[in-house]
């Protein structure tokens, strides 16, 4: 059987007082008091928007905090509240279209970006965490179906879930969004139009449901009054669902509950198992196994380690080298070199020049799925594109104690490793 080992994660930015301790403690003090506990890292919360151009360059200060003091932080990109802000990004912002052709494609790649994963799992201290939805590339978001007091408010803040998480063909599936379809929303664009108009009406009325219902009634009914929310008036067509034409506060709450329950159903990872890409699953498995074999990566960087970036208006590259701080007696320290393209145009990377290494003495441990053995034949100079990353380790003989290290070919083409199914 399996045992689940629980541990404490303290919320970010909170001080706690206990009767036993008798005073307030900030998070670093709590972690020192309870060294088996963790706190959420600074890249987890409100400003986690990796779908935008230049995100990782703008977050360099936070990235360095993770690198040099994050040994008791939860790290990674696709977890906790991160995608809530991602789903709320204004679609007129400068989106990184290198990550995909549609908004959902961009978002799923941003929160399960191979370059970010190489950096987080193969180089960063702390405890990486990835939600299953992020790993599989399914919809996910923030839903609150436990009460109707704030339900409409929550939905009005989460309506961009339809833009960032749902492709139109997903809405057309016979078993998708059944509650909303039963309310009359047969057309996906009509649902999105009403959802966005509802968001504007909630803001305009300071979230007063009675006022919102009144606005909807005269904008979507037969009233000749001026409509305060033009997008609502645009919906007043002959095919308008009767549900919308007769909206009141109870029906607003019914809509909110249907939105959240249908959204919840679409986030169920069991719907998407057949869509898993084996190469991506194997890559995820390899990264996690690599970290398990190198537990010292969880510790903060030391004076012997290096971490830096190359950044300009066109691109951002993270790179560095880590050396095992306390190897067992009689064994040389393990080492790892990380190269991750975090955004922008392709770039030729020369790790030997950047880190003063003889690249004849290094080999590929793990490479992101799009990188081929041919493209990694010469490690002195190679081209990385947005979202690509590699880990390198010293080249060693097959009979050495660390002989489990993979060659370039095995890292890229091995079929003996189990496929990672989250």
pLDDT per residue, tens digit, the chain (422 aa), is 888 877 788 775 555 545 455 555 666 777 778 888 888 888 887 678 999 999 999 999 999 999 999 999 999 888 887 888 899 999 999 999 999 999 999 999 999 999 999 999 999 999 999 999 999 999 999 888 877 788 999 999 999 999 999 999 999 999 999 999 999 999 999 999 999 999 999 999 999 999 999 999 888 887 777 888 899 988 888 888 889 888 999 999 999 999 999 999 999 999 998 989 999 999 999 999 999 999 999 999 999 999 999 999 999 999 999 999 999 999 999 999 999 999 999 999 999 999 999 999 999 999 999 999 999 999 999 999 999 999 999 997 543 444 444 444 444 444 333 333 33
User: Closest Cα partner for 72 from 19, 24, 138, 10?
Assistant: 10
Q: What is the pTM of this model?
A: 0.88
Exposed, middle or buried, 20 (CB in 10 Å: 0-12/13-18/19+)?
exposed
Examine the fold and report which residue of 102, 136, 170 is the final residue of a domain before the chain moves on: 136
Cβ atoms within 10 Å, residue 84: 17
Examine the fold and report which residue of 91, 106, 136 is the final residue of a domain before the chain moves on: 136
Residues 6 or more apart from 206 whose CB is under 8 A from it? none
151-158 and 188-204 helices cross at what angle (nearest 10)?
Answer: 120
Q: Determine the Cα–Cα distance for residues 128 and 291; give it in Å rounded to an integer.
A: 10
Please check whether residues 17 and 127 belong to one and the same domain.
yes
User: With contact defined as beta carbons under 8 Å apart, do 396 and 403 qualify?
Assistant: yes
List the structure tokens of 249.
């506060």
Please check whether residues 315 and 382 belong to one and the same domain.
yes
DSSP conformational letter for 315: E
- Cα angle value 69/10/8 (rounded, 5°): 100
Is 421 within a domain? no
Residue 370: give the domain boundaries. 304-413
Please check whether residues 317 and 257 belong to one and the same domain.
no
The torsion region of residue 97 among left (phi > 0), alpha (psi -120 to 50) and beta comes to alpha
User: With contact defined as beta carbons under 8 Å apart, do 412 and 387 qualify?
Assistant: no
List the structure tokens of 152.
């409409």
Write down the pLDDT at residue 95: 98
Write down the pLDDT at residue 417: 37
Q: How many domains does the chain have?
A: 3
């Amino acid at each position: 059987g399996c045992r689940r080992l629980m541990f404490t994660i303290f919320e970010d930015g909170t001080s706690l007082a206990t009767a036993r301790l008798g005073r307030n403690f900030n998070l670093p003090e709590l972690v020192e008091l309870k060294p088996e506990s963790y706190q959420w890292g600074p890249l987890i919360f409100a400003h986690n928007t990796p779908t935008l151009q230049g995100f990782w360059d703008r977050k360099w200060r936070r990235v360095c905090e993770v690198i040099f003091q994050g040994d008791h932080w939860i790290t990674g990109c696709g977890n906790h509240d991160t995608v809530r802000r991602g789903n709320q990004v204004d679609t007129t912002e400068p989106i990184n279209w290198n990550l995909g052709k549609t908004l959902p494609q961009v978002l799923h790649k941003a929160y399960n970006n191979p370059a970010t994963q190489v950096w987080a799992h193969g180089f960063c201290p702390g405890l990486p965490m990835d939600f299953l939805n992020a790993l599989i590339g399914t919809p996910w978001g923030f839903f609150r179906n436990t009460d109707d007091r704030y339900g409409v408010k929550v939905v009005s803040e989460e309506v961009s879930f339809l833009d960032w998480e749902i492709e139109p063909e997903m809405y057309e599936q016979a078993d998708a969004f059944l509650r909303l379809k039963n309310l009359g929303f047969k057309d996906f664009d009509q649902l999105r139009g009403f959802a966005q108009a509802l968001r504007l009406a909630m803001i305009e009325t300071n979230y007063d449901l009675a006022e919102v219902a009144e606005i909807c009634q005269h904008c979507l009914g037969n009233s000749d009054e001026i409509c305060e929310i033009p997008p609502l008036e645009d919906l007043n067509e002959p095919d308008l669902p009767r549900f919308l034409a007769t909206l009141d506060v109870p029906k607003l709450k019914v809509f909110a509950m249907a939105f959240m329950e249908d959204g919840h159903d679409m986030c169920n990872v069991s719907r998407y198992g057949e869509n898993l890409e084996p190469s991506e699953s194997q890559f995820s498995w390899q990264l996690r196994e690599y970290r398990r074999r190198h537990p010292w990566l969880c510790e903060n960087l030391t004076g012997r380690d290096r971490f830096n970036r190359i950044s300009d208006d066109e691109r951002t590259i993270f790179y560095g080298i880590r050396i095992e701080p306390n190897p067992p007696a009689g064994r040389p320290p393990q080492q790892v070199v990380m190269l991750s393209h975090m955004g922008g145009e392709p770039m030729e990377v020369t790790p030997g020049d950047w880190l003063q290494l003889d690249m004849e003495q290094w080999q590929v441990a793990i490479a992101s799925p799009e990188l081929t053995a041919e493209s990694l034949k010469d490690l002195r100079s190679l081209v990385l594109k947005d979202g690509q990353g590699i880990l390198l380790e010293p080249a060693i003989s097959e009979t050495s104690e660390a002989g489990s290290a993979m060659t370039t070919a095995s890292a890229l083409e091995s079929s003996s490793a189990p496929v990672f199914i989250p």
